[in-house]
Amino acid sequence: MPEFQAAYLIHGEDHGRVSERRGKLAALAELEGGAGGIEQFDAASSAPAEIAAALSAMTFAVGWRFLIVGGCERWRDGDVKADLAPAMAAMPAETTIAFFACEDGRQQAPEALHKAVKALGGTIASEGVLKSKELPPWVIAQAATMSMTLDGAGAQALIAQVGERQQRLLRELEKLALEYGPGAKIGVEEVGDSAANSSELLVWGLVDAIVARDQRTALLTYLRLREQNEDAGRLAVAIVRRLRDVTAIAERLEAGATDSQAVAGIPGGSYAAKRRLAEARSADPDLLREATEALAALELASRGGSALDKDTETLRVIERIAA
């Protein structure tokens, strides 16, 4: 039987990892106490006072009780301090409360929540996102734990194809390990032959379809990306950023810059820079600028500039600009 603590706070900018840990805890809790012993809350619709009330309420469930709360990055520090912290201090025995916060620059788990979890001797874990320059050595180290030798160029190629989400990179490394076996030496060729690059291709395919005014393909491509669990808001920002990078390179080339000058400051390492350079050379700068201006509407929608949910607004924007 796993030993559960009274409180957990899992927070950070690696939203995939935070969600994964929430799912694992929920699965363990169900094994321990059955589905009836788990209560799940979304902080978007449940204020700290409501969580406190649920925590203090009588329950007829037999065995250990689990309260799992997501979205705590939206809470205010004063509300946690006034309403939730006292209830946690008087929490009944055989109870675990776990908080999950998918943070970004503007929204963070309140400091009062950190203190309340610490006061119970609970676990606080941060799931941070590595910086771009930290990813290649991290990918190489993860490959080594799977008995593979991944060279630097192969690591950059994998990141360029799969993206910078650590969970997705781990999944692709696992696939490489299964395909090539223990002791394998992995480079650009093996990555190119085996690693899934569907997300990379689909993102650019979406941009292509919008530029070509192929509305049906654009909408279907967006939906395929969402089926891969791409977050709607992050996807919109990624598309705009990707298009702006290629547009900047195309404009520099048009102004007479050398290849190295054209790709200066482009994120993703040398492999990604070469890919963007090739894309810029084959693109019309005027069409790129036009598409960039149109796609700015996606970024606005992803930042809450619409009363509709992100998926609905993004689909409407794609439908409009690709018509």
Same-domain status, 142 and 116: no
**CATH code of the domain covering residue 33:** 3.40.50.300
End of a domain among 147, 176, 194? 194
Do both 161 and 186 map to the same domain? yes
For 133, which DSSP code? G
More confident residue, 306 or 38: 38
Residue 1 lies in a domain: no
Nearest to 232 by CA among 114, 167, 315: 315
- Are both 223 and 296 inside the same structural domain? yes
Looking at the structure, do residues 101 and 187 belong to the same domain, yes or no? no
User: Angle, nearest 10°, between helix axes 166-180 and 152-162?
Assistant: 120
Domain count, the chain: 3
Share of the chain above pLDDT 90, in %: 23
For residues 192 and 196, give the distance between their C-alpha atoms in angstroms, rounded to a whole number: 8
Domain end, chosen from 70, 96, 126, is at 126
**2 occurs within a structural domain:** no
Helix axes 152-162, 198-211, angle to 10 degrees: 50
Please write the tens of the pLDDT for every residue from 83-105.
Answer: 999 999 998 888 899 999 988 87
Indicate the range of 47-51, 138-142, 178-182 predicted with least confidence.
Answer: 178-182
Q: Is residue 315 part of a domain?
A: yes
If one counts every other C-beta atom within 10 angstroms of the C-beta of residue 12, the result is: 21
How far apart CA 181 and CA 147 sit, in angstroms, is 8
CA angle 254, 255, 256 (to 5 degrees): 90
First to last CA, the chain: 58
Q: Can you give the CATH number for the domain in which 184 is found?
A: 1.10.8.60
Q: Indicate whether 224 and 148 sit together in one domain.
A: no
The C-alpha atoms of residue 219 and residue 138 are separated, in whole angstroms, by 35
The region of weakest confidence among 110-119, 156-165, 193-202 is 193-202
Q: Does the pLDDT at position 106 exceed 60?
A: yes
- Is 52 in the same domain as 30? yes
- What pLDDT is stored for residue 147 in this prediction? 92
- Give residue 182's domain range: 132-194
Question: Model pTM?
Answer: 0.50
Average pLDDT over residues 229-247: 72
Residue 49: how many CB atoms within 10 A of its CB?
A: 14
CATH number, domain of 226, equals 1.20.272.10
Token pair 């030496």 is found at: 185
